[in-house]
Amino acid sequence: MLDYLSTKNFKYVHDHYLFWIKIFFLTLVIFGLITSLFVSPADYLQGDTVRIMYVHVPASWLALQIFAVMSICSFITLIFKTRVFTLIAKSVAPIGFTFSLISLFTGSIWGQPTWGTFWTWDARLTSMLVLVIFYIIYIIIWKIIPKFNLAEKLTSIVSLIGLANLPIIKFSVEWWNTLHQPSTIKLTESSTIHSTMLTPLLIMFFAFLIFSIIIFLIRFKLESLNLKINSNR
């Protein structure tokens, strides 16, 4: 499986399939916006404010998942010294950072009418802010350290340390008394969210996921080219 995760294969997908991936993304996002804005019902308590969920929740999921990918890639890099995984982690980091900011921003907008404030030191909000800080540290290290090998090691260590924050974000609503409601979407049990809301939510998630893949393919090609240019100097 690891043989497929090569620079050559990622470049091939970028050069031959990126256009069709973009078409698929546009189809998903249009369908997702229609279902979330016009088909999905308003909440009986929150009204139309609940529609922020269709951006907030997918962004939050992807912010966590992308950091998990970074951590896995960093672990493989440290153990097996496989550079392609460094390029993967470096390429997806700004994407995850952007989604984490979107999560905090939309969460604040959603929280104001729900909780009466844009910000509170709620366990999930605070741990999400910590995730943003880890993203910032990771990105800054690549910016300020010119030696690739040193930056590679430091960013790998940062992402592995930050990995410990992910279960805190996930289970904070169960471990502590927080303002966030418990998860309504479950893999091992039946979800409590109605299908009229779950369907557009999943569509928007996959639209965001495909968008992430598009940006990753573009960034990965640029990062691999930069590495090749710098190594030839």
pLDDT at position 176 = 62
> Of 171, 160, 202, which is closest to residue 70 (Cα–Cα)?
160
pLDDT over 90 at 152, yes or no: yes
Is residue 206 assigned to a domain?
yes
- Phi, psi angles (nearest 5°) of residue 51: -65, -15
Residue 84 domain-assigned? yes
Of the listed ranges 56-65, 71-80, 140-149, 173-182, the one predicted with least confidence: 173-182
Look at residue 38 and tell me if it is in a domain: no
How far the first Cα of the chain sits from its last, in Å, is 33
**Count of CB atoms within 10 A of residue 112's CB?**
13
Residue 48 lies in a domain: no
pLDDT tens readout for residues 27-59: 999 999 999 989 888 877 777 788 899 999 999
Helices assigned H by DSSP within the chain: 7-34, 53-80, 83-115, 123-144, 148-162, 165-175, 195-231
| 121 within a domain of the structure (yes/no) | yes
Residue 28 forms part of a structural domain: no
Residue 205 pLDDT exceeds 90: yes
Name the band, by pLDDT with cuts 50, 70 and 90, for residue 123. Answer: confident
* Residue pair 70/216 in contact by the 8 Å Cβ criterion: no
Closest CA to 85 of 105, 67, 103, 70: 70
223 vs 187, residue with greater confidence: 223
| 46 to 41, 160, 199: CA distances (angstroms) | 11, 38, 19
Round to whole Å and give the CA distance between 99 and 103.
Answer: 6
At residue 185, the pLDDT reads: 63
Predicted confidence band of residue 125 (pLDDT cuts 50, 70, 90)? confident
Number of domains composing the chain: 1
pLDDT at 95: 98
Q: Answer yes or no: are the C-beta atoms of 198 and 74 closer than 8 Å.
A: no
165 lies in which domain range?
A: 61-179+192-233
In a domain, 49, yes or no: no
Arithmetic mean of pLDDT over the chain: 87
pTM of the model: 0.90
On whether residue 120 sits in a domain, the answer given is yes
Confidence of residue 196 (pLDDT cuts 50, 70, 90): confident
Among 69, 61, 62, smallest CA distance to 85 is for 69
